[in-house]
Structure 1
Amino acid sequence: MHAYRSHTCAALTAANVGETVRLSGWVHRVRDHGGLLFIDLRDHYGITQVMADPDSPVFAELEKVRSEWCIKIEGNVLARDESLINKAIPTGEVEVFIRDIEVLGQSEELPLMVFGDQEYPEETRLKYRYLDLRREAMQTNMKLRSDVVTSMRKRMWEKDFREYQTPIITASSPEGARDFLVPSRQHPGKFYALPQAPQQFKQLMMVAGFDKYFQIAPCFRDEDPRADRSPTDFYQLDLEMSFVEQQDVFDTIQPVLQGVFEEFGGGRKVDDVWPQISYKDAALWYGTDKPDLRNPIKMQVVSDHFRGSGFAIFASLLENEGTEIRAIPAPKGGSRKFCDRMNKFAQGEGLPGMGYIFWRKQSADSIAQERGITVKEVNAMVKSGEITLGNEAAGPLAKNIGPERTEAIRQQLGLDVGDAAFFLGGKPKAFEAVAGRARTAIGDELGLTDLNRFAFAWIVDFPIYEADEETGKIDFEHNPFSMPQGGMDALLGDPLKVLGYQYDLACNGYELVSGAIRNHRPEIMFKAFEIAGYGKDEVEKRFGGMVNAFQYGAPPHGGCAAGVDRIVMLLADEANIREVVMFPMNQRAEDLMMNAPSDPTSDQLMELGLRVIPQDQ
């Protein structure tokens, strides 16, 4: 018999009754039932109930055992009484009567309990992550992560991709975020960088003739943390292909990711049609370039209905160039109570409120006022069939713009009695983000969002350039290394109309994939940077390795990268990415368990030729 175990804690069944077995694991829970001691023994695979009575030779020793002690037991497998069978676990038909026990590792008093569903502060969980990871939910998440990565690799190999590794210590990257710099001992005063992504190396592989590359790649970026982003490092499914167009990349990655979501999505519906939505339309319809299509609400421009209207705020706003009014339809939101709640939401976003209209069944009172007759007369006319009660628009905004305009708005938005619409105005870039969050809140509040679904959309046609509102200076708005649609000819026209072959994949409100068809032509690349104010010398200095390589017969190529951590977060139905990362940093980019970052020693600084300048507190 093996020194530590003959079976795992998930392996024993009724077929093992009568056998002598050896198990090792952690004490999950101890229960004293009047002279009978029961222990739920846990390992990575599951739980087995082990027990002893005063006749056991190790009963006295067993009484000393506490939660999370690591122990080894040997004993006989017994069948449980039928009334005591636990159908919730694979080993629920049996228990092990302990004949021998060895304590492999005692535990001090626990800073957090592994058994149960108690909530603990994140700082405590991260400081004692090795205990936090013993919890069932965390074990499940980490196994899911491993299985997802394995599935991704398998699916990429099946598509004739090969996995190649790229350097971890390299030069500073053009990705756009802050680098983590690494001082060089052999070259005093110079620094390496941890790669923000394998971007340049994977493009150089295409120049080198490797047709299809992929890697589960670690990436390092010194970023401000968010719930769906690590402040230091993350992993991505990185891929690149030669001799491809944009659609080829889509056709390659969709079955990989769709298959992963179908395999690990827990039965939730996975959309198999992934629409392609322009960046411009995504901003208009959803207020974001990572829309959640589970929510059916689409915003629309309704400016024409407010021009010259009695609602002075919007009417005067529209006199300014570049402004517009957008409506957020709210099916089934047609009550003053709901509209008041959404006004409160808008105030929480820093706005004075949102204009709204809601439609209700026309009242006899409103018809009476309109026609100058009594309510009694109206009711009689309704009863006789002379008139019918239609619908009417309600709310302060409706009163200001009148029935003709409100009816035109209702028809444009496809709304009916019991529905509502909310309105925001100004320059779109100033209010789009708030409008997007309002759309999400409305969808959630009204139960319109299908939570049992993964909905994907490709966001395409990103603008390459933007102009500073104050100075008019042209700069890059999105990836400067994307091939402009139309090539060199496009760059000779209005830069603000130049779109790139750049694309993102959104799922349920998160960006999962980002990629592009690359600009592999040096003359087009130099021109693209020239428009944004970067001379040829600067481009060669900053990106010389890639630019030089492109002068030796670079093939057309493109690819993308899918965020592994974020994909697993969605599959695990977690709202925080740290729940699916084994050893994450906290929100201040600190490792509380390993005490990083830490102060260097004097010897380390001297060896590297560095001096730390104290910061003002």
Structure 2
Amino acid sequence: MTTHRYRTHTCGALTAGDAGNNVRLSGWVHRIRDHGGLLFIDLRDNYGITQCVIDPDSAAFAQAEKVRSEWVLRIDGEVKMRDASAVNNNIPTGAIEVFIREIEVLSVAKELPMPVFGDAEYPEDIRLRYRFLDLRREKLHANILKRTKIISAMRAGMGGAGFTEFSTPILTASSPEGARDFLVPSRIHPGKFFALPQAPQQYKQLLMVAGFDRYFQVAPCFRDEDPRADRLPGEFYQLDLEMSFVTQEEIWETVEPVMTSVFEQFADGKRVTKNWPRIPYDTAIRKYGSDKPDLRNPIEIEGVTEHFAGSGFKVFANQIETDPKVEVWAIPAKNKAGAEPIGRAFCDRMNAWAQGEGQPGLGYIFFKDGAGSGPIAKNIGEERTAAIKSQLGLADGDAVFFVAGRPEKFYKFAGEARNKVGNDLGVVDTEQFALCWIVDFPFYEWSEEEKRIDFAHNPFSMPQGGLDALNSAEPLSLKAYQYDAVCNGFEIASGSIRNQEPETMVKAFELTGKSREEVEEQFGGLYRAFQYGAPPHGGAAFGIDRIVMLLCGVANLREITAFPMNQQAEDLLMGAPSPADNKQLRELSIRLNVQS
């Protein structure tokens, strides 16, 4: 046996081929079991678990009896084959065990504030305060390792596609667009502040102007936003990329195979979309009620306004008559083959759910014995009911739900209803990663709060039609060369062809109320760069955290992040944010004025 101080093998390495060898292992005590005199110690490290055995005749038995969970041990012993009845096929080391000859205690552990063995639910504040213990738990530990492998696969894929990895500054200028910045006071320049980058957007565009052509970066991004389950507070990571002399189609054709390959490598047998459909934004809103549709759900929304115009169902008919912008959308509920027919009880549950979502209700028709049932069917009559059934391809045992009004006010609710119907009926195909591009986003949107038009997405995107369209078209009708990648109902990337023409850039901002002088001041780096020969360029940014979350099959980003903050944007492990002392504040020329 080697004289290595701590180990000859890891706890995941020993197999039947090592039987008869003397080995040295080091790791944490995962579990202790007393089987009629024989003491079993499961020893764990980053690589796996090895079962170790000691009997009362061993000189080290007295010391083994003192061992407790999560102590760190060095164990010397002989590898032996397990009895056939004791083989554990669930772990790589399940065919062998180590008969302990010598134990050295490398570190003792106090009584644990939370269990490490198993993955039972535990209060989040304890999990985050003792994150170093939480990270020892099998599932979370595996998620973090999987995250690193996914990022490695992304890097390899980007390198293989001809991209070069660059680093961009962390201390930068504050951005007037987007979310709130994290500000960093400058000691050398009193009263002035750096900002942490919300994204490397301007820097990567400047790299294209500098002639580097294909850039990527695994980039940390910082936004002072409120946390939610699919977005961590404070910081997140994205696979950021940019390309020169490309159309948006060429960007999709370049990046799509890279990301498809990443998903396939970590899909654990689930199907992955090979050719991502490209769905216009307006189509996505009307068919799915969302610009990030879950395409695993086969339900598609359809317009049925004509069947209610002038009908006996006055709740809808009166709206249609008085407002030409009112529409009625149908959410067909096609049952699974062989399932119990959809009846009044299911429809009433959907109606109650809608009321719980702040809606007046959710109208419905369900079909049985060749006819439609429910108040709506009774009011619109057999002919209109049959026409709806025929249009939607429904049959006995199926149902349909309706929403009415101006689509811009109800489409999100319609999308949520589509999701709920699909999930409750069990028709969502959970054995796949359904990927797509959402394209042709609106360039502008109306800001009700500020009573003006504003950018709907990225202000650096190129409007379709360029400067001519900005000068002549109605602003809210303009589309952008803007696109998102979506997977299973989550936006996983956003990108665009950039606006690299100085006059087009100024005009785009002027329509939102900014002057030429403000554009030159706030975006001076880009504006100046565009004066000196800027190539047509575009790119995207893929959200690494969300992609890892999807591939690990969890619903919360804290389950794939090593050291996350809590929902109040606090780091309970390190005690951040924390007060600065007076000396630090004086050095930064800062005086606090905290509002109580």
The reply to whether TM is greater than 0.5 is yes
Match of 1:315 among 314, 317, 320: 317
Q: Is 2:447 aligned against 1:435?
A: no
What CA deviation, in whole Å up to 9, does each residue of 1:247-280 have, x standing for no partner? 0110111001100111100010001121111111
**In the alignment, is the contact (CA less than 8 A) between 1:175 and 1:196 conserved in 2?**
no
2:158–2:216 contact (8 Å) kept in structure 1: yes
- Matched residues in 1 for 2:402 and 2:540: separation? 37
Aligned partners of 1:260, 1:467: CA distance in 2, in Å? 38
- 1:368 maps to which residue? none
Letter in 2 for 1:507: C
1:175–1:197 Cα contact (<8 Å) kept = no
Aligned amino acid, residue 582 of structure 1: A
How much does 1:477 deviate?
A: 2.0
1:222 corresponding residue in structure 2: 224
2:49 paired residue number: 47
Aligned equivalents of 1:325, 1:469: Cα separation in 2: 24
Q: Which residue of 1 aligns with 2:384?
A: 405
> What's 1:357 paired with?
365
- For 1:469 and 1:85, the matched residues in 2 are separated by 66
In the alignment, residue 416 of structure 1 is paired with which amino acid? Answer: A
- Please give the secondary structure, in 1, of the residue aligned with 2:567: coil
Say if 2:27 and 2:72, in contact at 8 Å, map to a contact too: yes
Q: Following the alignment from structure 1 to structure 2, what is the Cα–Cα distance between the partners of residues 240 and 469? A: 33
Once residues 462 and 396 of structure 2 are traced to their aligned partners in structure 1, the CA distance between those partners, rounded to angstroms, is 49
Give the one of 571, 581, 587 matched to 1:591. Answer: 571
- Distance in 2, matches of 1:614 and 1:159, equals 51
- Specify whether residues 82 and 468 from structure 1 end up closer, same or farther in structure 2 by C-alpha distance, changes over 3 A only: closer
- Tell me how far 1:118 sits from its aligned partner: 2.1
Match of 1:505 among 485, 502, 513: 485
Identify the residue that residue 461 of structure 2 maps to in structure 1.
Answer: 482
Pairing 1:242-391 to 2, within 5 Å after superposition: 242-318=244-320, 319-332=322-335, 334-361=342-369, 391=370
SS of structure 1 residue aligned to 2:586: helix
Distance 1:352 1:342 in 2: 12
2:338 corresponds in structure 1 to none
Amino acid at match of 2:511: I
1:550 equivalent in structure 2: 530
Q: Deviations over 1:561-581 (max 9, x none)?
A: 001110010000001111011
Specify every segment of 5 or more residues in structure 1 that has no aligned partner in the other structure, as ranges: 362-390
Aligned to 1:539: 519
CA displacement, residues 33-65 of structure 1 (integer Å, 9 cap, x when unaligned):
122111000011111111111211111111110
Deviation of residue 27 (structure 1)?
0.2
Residue 32 (structure 2) aligned to one of 30, 33, 37: 30
Residue number among 17, 20, 25 corresponding to 1:18 in the alignment: 20
Q: RMSD over aligned Cα, in angstroms?
A: 1.3
Q: Distance in 1 between matches of 2:209 and 2:475?
A: 28
* SS at structure 2 position matched to 1:499: coil
Q: How far apart are the structure 1 equivalents of 2:449 and 2:188?
A: 46
SS at match of 1:39: strand
Larger Rg belongs to:
1
Distance 1:347 1:15 in 2: 64
Q: Tell me the residue number matched to 2:436.
A: 457
Deviation at 1:479, TM superposition (A): 1.8
> Which region of structure 1 is more displaced relative to structure 2, 332-341 or 419-428?
332-341
Give how far 1:476 is off.
2.0
* Pairing 1:65–2:45 present: no
Counterparts of 2:118 and 2:288, CA distance in 1:
40
Contact 2:179–2:224 (8 Å) recurs in 1: yes
Identity of aligned residues (%): 61
CA contact (8 A) 2:119 2:139 kept: no
CA contact (8 A) 1:36 1:52 kept: yes
Deviations 1:364-420 (A, max 9, x none): xxxxxxxxxxxxxxxxxxxxxxxxxxx211100111111121122122212122211
Partner Cα separation in structure 2 for residue 525 and residue 409 of structure 1? 48
Pick one of 184, 192, 195 that aligns with 1:190. 192
The 5 A counterparts of 1:120-135 are 120-135=122-137
Q: Which amino acid aligns with 2:433?
A: F
Shift of the alpha carbon at 1:475?
2.3
1:26 is matched by which residue type in structure 2?
W
Give the TM-score normalised by structure 2: 0.97
Q: Which stretch of the first structure deviates more once superposed, 489-498 or 176-185?
A: 489-498
Q: Give, in whole Å, the separation in 2 of the partners of 1:227 and 1:451.
A: 20
Alignment match, 1:567: 547
Shift of residue 478 of structure 1?
A: 2.1
Hey, what's the Cα distance between the residues in 2 that align with 1:281 and 1:572? 30
2-side partners of 1:428 and 1:122: how far apart? 40
Greater alpha carbon shift after TM alignment, 268-277 vs 459-468? 459-468
For residue 527 of structure 1, the aligned residue among 496, 507, 514 is: 507
| Unaligned segments of structure 2, at least 5 residues | 336-340
Compared with structure 1, are the counterparts of its residues 30 and 471 closer, same or farther at alpha carbon in structure 2 (3 Å cutoff)?
closer
Contact between 2:224 and 2:233, CA under 8 Å: does it hold in 1?
yes
Cα distance in 2, alignment partners of residues 231 and 504 from structure 1: 22
Q: Determine whether 1:97 maps to 2:105.
A: no
Contact 1:590–1:597 (Cα < 8 Å) also in 2: yes
Q: Secondary structure at the match of 1:313?
A: helix
Equivalents in 2 of 1:325, 1:257: separation in Å?
38
Partner in structure 2 of residue 422 of structure 1: 401
Whether the aligned pair in 2 keeps the contact of 1:243 and 1:557 (CA below 8 Å) is: yes
Deviation, 1:341, is 1.3
My pick for the range that moved more, 108-117 or 144-153, is 108-117
2:235 is matched with: 233
Which amino acid is 2:329 matched to?
Answer: R
- The one-letter code matched in structure 2 to 1:100 is E
Structure 2 counterpart of 1:611, one-letter code: R
CA distance in 1, matches of 2:175, 2:191: 18
One-letter code aligned to 2:362? M
- How far did residue 472 of structure 1 move? 6.0
The one-letter code sitting in structure 2 at the alignment partner of 1:347 is Q
SS of equivalent to 2:354 = helix
* Pick aligned residue for 1:172 from 171, 174, 192: 174
SS at match of 2:532: coil
After TM superposition, give the deviation of residue 469 of structure 1 in Å: 5.6
Q: Distance in 1 between matches of 2:159 and 2:118?
A: 41
Alpha-carbon shift at residue 468 of structure 1 (Å): 4.5
- Cα distance in 2 between the residues matched to 1:422 and 1:477: 30
Query: Which of 412-421 and 33-42 deviates more?
Result: 412-421
In 1, distance between residues paired with 2:533 and 2:185? 35
The whole-number CA distance in structure 1 between the counterparts of 2:235 and 2:7 is 37
Alpha carbons 2:119, 2:138 under 8 Å: kept: no
d(CA) in 2 for partners of 1:64 and 1:340? Answer: 61
CA offset digits 1:198-218 (Å, max 9, x no partner):
000000000000010001111
Q: Which residue, out of 445, 464, 483, partners 2:424?
A: 445
Aligned-partner Cα distance in 1 for 2:57–2:342: 72
Aligned position for 1:367: none
